Every structure is written in C-alpha cells, then in structure tokens.
Chains A and B, each alone.
Chain A
Amino acid sequence: DAGVTQSPTHLIKTRGQQVTLRCSPKSGHDTVSWYQQALGQGPQFIFQYYEEEERQRGNFPDRFSGHQFPNYSSELNVNALLLGDSALYLCASTGKEETQYFGPGTRLLVL
C-alpha cells in the first residue's frame, strides 16, 4: 500500500520563474491538501482539493494555484517566484477517516 508521494524532492529556481510540484495521494484517499513549511516553523495551509475543485484556501496570494486530476493526484503551481517562497512544500492526503497523512515534501530554493 503506497503512501503519499511527492516529486521532485528538491528544486532550485530563480526569482520570477514558475514552478510545478506534484503529489500522489495514499491509496484510497480522495482529498489532497498543500502546506508550506518555512525553516523552523509549523506547516501553513495553502489549499485543499476534493473532487477536482479547490474546497478551502489559506492566506496565500493568487500566485499559488493548484489542480486535482481524476485519479486524485494533485499539482501545486507557484508563479512569479519570490525569495520568500523558499520552503518545504508538503502535501497531505485524506480519506474517509479525515486524518491527514503527509508526503515527504519538495524542498524549493529560490535564488
């Protein structure tokens, strides 16, 4: 039974560029949430996808967008990257029990 997977593991970009991060949920899960974790901080909720639609959103600008595919996998897109976007990006998947299980994360460095 595969857990939550994310790709890539690491990414280096320059300011102004765009990035796409990917997440595959745990088998049997249909909901994907995305979080940003800055160094030394707790994860911050970006948004959640269910049935291919954004269901909830945190306090992040429109530069952050996402998508969910029919197979429940999800993408996080960030446009016009800023230095402050450097962080660990975590996705978490949820099934009927509503417990969130995290993937290993993608570490993004913006130079």
Chain B
Amino acid sequence: GENVEQHPSTLSVQEGDSAVIKCTYSDSASNYFPWYKQELGKRPQLIIDIRSNVGEKKDQRIAVTLNKTAKHFSLHITETQPEDSAVYFCAASMGSNTGKLIFGQGTTLQVKP
C-alpha cells in the first residue's frame, strides 16, 4: 500500500552539529520527494525537494539524497542553529503524478544552544 516511513521521530542535537532524517517509501513509481518544515502553529514550508532523475541536491546547509533502488531518501542539515528547531516531514508522490503526496509521520528536531 501507499506508505512513507520516517525516522527518527525525535532528534536532539547540539548547535553546530549535523542532523540526519531518513525516509523510506513503498511505491516504486514515486518520482518526487519534497521535505517540509513546520513550526508550531504554522503552515508546512517547503525547504528542499528532489526528483527521481537526481541522486543528490544541496541548498546551503541543507541536502537531500535519494536511493531509488532502496526506495530511501534522507535530509541532511549541517551546522544546525536553534532556529532549525521544528517538525520536519518527508513526502513522496504516489505514482508518476506528483499531485498526491504521502507524508511521513514527522521528526521533531531540537537544536540546543
């Protein structure tokens, strides 16, 4: 069935350390994988996305890697800052149409000053 598993559910790091969040998906036809950051009481905001024809994408301190064979993708945040503290969601498109996104359960990231 349609499923995205996300780990860990909570992650606590010291400011300046790196954080890694991992997701696996079930639909081999998925071809679009966005990551959203949601602060308390606010809307999910897109931070980075990757399509299946790319293995890695980087935007300043944020990077995403995709392993299509293993149906696995990861978010990497380097040099973490207290303002990175939030809930992060991975998502995968169902099938080749990117309209329907299936979200993971979320990871609560806490960056300690």
Contact = CB atoms under 8 A, between A and B. Distances in A.
Contacts, number: 53
B105 A103 contact: no
B46 A99 contact: yes
Contact of A41 (B32, B45, B105): B105
B102 interface: yes
> At the interface, is chain B mostly helix, strand, loop or mixed?
strand
B44 A99 contact: no
Interface size on B, as a range, is 20 to 34
A102 B89 contact: no
Given A98-B32, A100-B34, A45 B100 contact: yes
Given A98-B98, A100-B46, A102-B45, 14 more contacts: A4-B43, A31-B99, A33-B100, A40-B106, A42-B6, A43-B101, A43-B103, A55-B99, A56-B97, A98-B32, A102-B44, A104-B42, A104-B43, A105-B43
Interface of B: 4, 6, 32, 34, 36, 42-46, 49, 89, 91, 97-106
